[in-house]
């Protein structure tokens, strides 16, 4: 049975944990200065960006109500097959772009992980390349590739592949760095070389993560491909921008509904595929 603590033991414990329980005056002042600075910067941004311009907000809400009234009920006016084809074009653009990005990111992820490439300088150089690639948004890449290969979905595919490959490479490299060392040591003890270690010890552990992340980015890139279409990369985004430009709000609302349904179906299918492979790999 546990013995009750004595007064001396309680006093010693309080002295030991006092720095954790209480903060010094300097720490409290620094904390308050941080919170004051955060609040001041937030208010400054709200004022500079016109957040408190209530007259503009009131007028904007009135215009929004007018736009919504024109969007209902949604209608195709004989263009439903055109919209459907554009949806498939957007899906194809997102799928091929994500597939290319994942294929590029897998070897880059191995090269950028510490437990595969132990040279600190090499690791630092690869990580900075990831930052450069993913630091440029897909919309910027689309504008670049449109000027290189012209208008159309091919520019959108290249834009998605360039932007997402850097993001996936960073996520894959971090997953590879967190694998279980025991499997690596076991495969290495059997006489395997570096490529065989990556194939039989590391890849089986990170494959569910790679698949899950790639599926999520496919869903996300479907929405991104819509935006890329607005700047000339084809797909449903081009149809949406055209409908908005001619103020055909009922057709625009139908396109938006089709995009939402498509994203929902992709999310449902991705979850089923993800759960199937995770269960097959034995991960709880």
CA distances (Å), origin 283, targets 97, 180, 198, 210: 28, 13, 19, 14
Selected residue with higher pLDDT from 121 and 217? 217
Whether the per-residue pLDDT at 36 is higher than 90: the answer is yes
Does residue 141 contact residue 158 with C-beta atoms inside 8 Å?
A: yes
Q: What is the pTM of this model?
A: 0.73
Contacts of 68 (CB under 8 A, 6+ apart): none
* Residue linked to tokens 């991960």: 283
pLDDT band at 281 (very low <50, low <70, confident <90, very high): low
pLDDT band at 163 (very low <50, low <70, confident <90, very high): confident
* Residue linked to tokens 């010693």: 12
Selected residue with higher pLDDT from 98 and 150? 98
Does residue 243 contact residue 226 with C-beta atoms inside 8 Å?
A: no
Whether the per-residue pLDDT at 20 is higher than 70: the answer is no
> Given this model, what pLDDT does residue 39 score?
92
Q: How far apart are CA 48 and CA 82, in angstroms?
A: 43
> Given this model, what pLDDT does residue 34 score?
92
Mean predicted confidence (pLDDT) in 7-30: 66
Contacts of 204 (CB under 8 A, 6+ apart): 183, 281
* Residue linked to tokens 């308050």: 32
- As a whole-number percent, the residues of the chain with pLDDT over 90 amount to 4
> Given this model, what pLDDT does residue 13 score?
61
- As a whole-number percent, the residues of the chain with pLDDT over 70 amount to 89
Mean predicted confidence (pLDDT) in 84-98: 88
Q: What is the mean pLDDT of the chain?
A: 80
Dihedral sign for Cα 48, 49, 55, 56, please.
positive
Mean predicted confidence (pLDDT) in 161-184: 83
Mean predicted confidence (pLDDT) in 9-37: 72
> Given this model, what pLDDT does residue 284 score?
43
HEC letters along 170-201:
HHHHHHHHCCCHHHHHHHHHCCCCHHHHHHHH
The most confident of 30-34, 67-71, 172-176, by mean pLDDT: 30-34
Whether the per-residue pLDDT at 185 is higher than 90: the answer is no
> Given this model, what pLDDT does residue 280 score?
61
């Amino acid at each position: 049975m546990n013995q009750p603590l004595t007064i001396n033991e309680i006093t010693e414990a309080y002295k030991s944990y006092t720095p954790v329980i209480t903060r010094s005056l300097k720490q409290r002042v620094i904390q308050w200065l941080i919170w004051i600075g955060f609040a001041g910067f937030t208010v400054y941004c709200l004022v500079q960006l016109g957040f408190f311009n209530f007259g503009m907000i009131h007028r904007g809400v009135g215009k929004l109500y007018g736009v919504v009234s024109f969007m209902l009920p949604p209608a195709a006016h004989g263009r439903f097959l055109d919209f459907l084809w554009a949806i498939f074009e957007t899906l194809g653009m997102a799928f091929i772009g994500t597939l290319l990005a994942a294929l590029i990111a897998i070897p880059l992820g191995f090269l950028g992980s510490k437990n595969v490439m132990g040279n600190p300088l090499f690791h630092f150089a690869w990580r900075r390349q990831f930052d450069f690639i993913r630091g440029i948004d897909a919309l910027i890449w689309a504008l670049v590739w449109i000027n290189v290969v012209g208008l159309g979905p091919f520019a959108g595919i290249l834009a998605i592949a360039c932007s997402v490959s850097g993001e996936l490479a960073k996520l894959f490299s971090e997953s590879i760095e967190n694998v279980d060392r025991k499997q690596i040591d076991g495969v290495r003890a059997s006489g395997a070389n570096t490529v065989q270690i990556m194939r039989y010890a590391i890849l089986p552990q990170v494959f569910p993560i790679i698949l899950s992340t790639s599926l999520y980015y496919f869903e996300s890139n479907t929405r991104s491909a819509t935006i890329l279409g607005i700047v000339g990369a084809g797909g449903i985004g081009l149809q949406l921008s055209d409908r908005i430009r001619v103020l055909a709000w009922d057709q625009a609302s139908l396109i938006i509904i089709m995009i939402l349904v498509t994203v929902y179906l992709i999310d449902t299918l991705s979850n089923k595929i993800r759960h199937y492979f995770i269960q097959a790999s034995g991960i709880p």
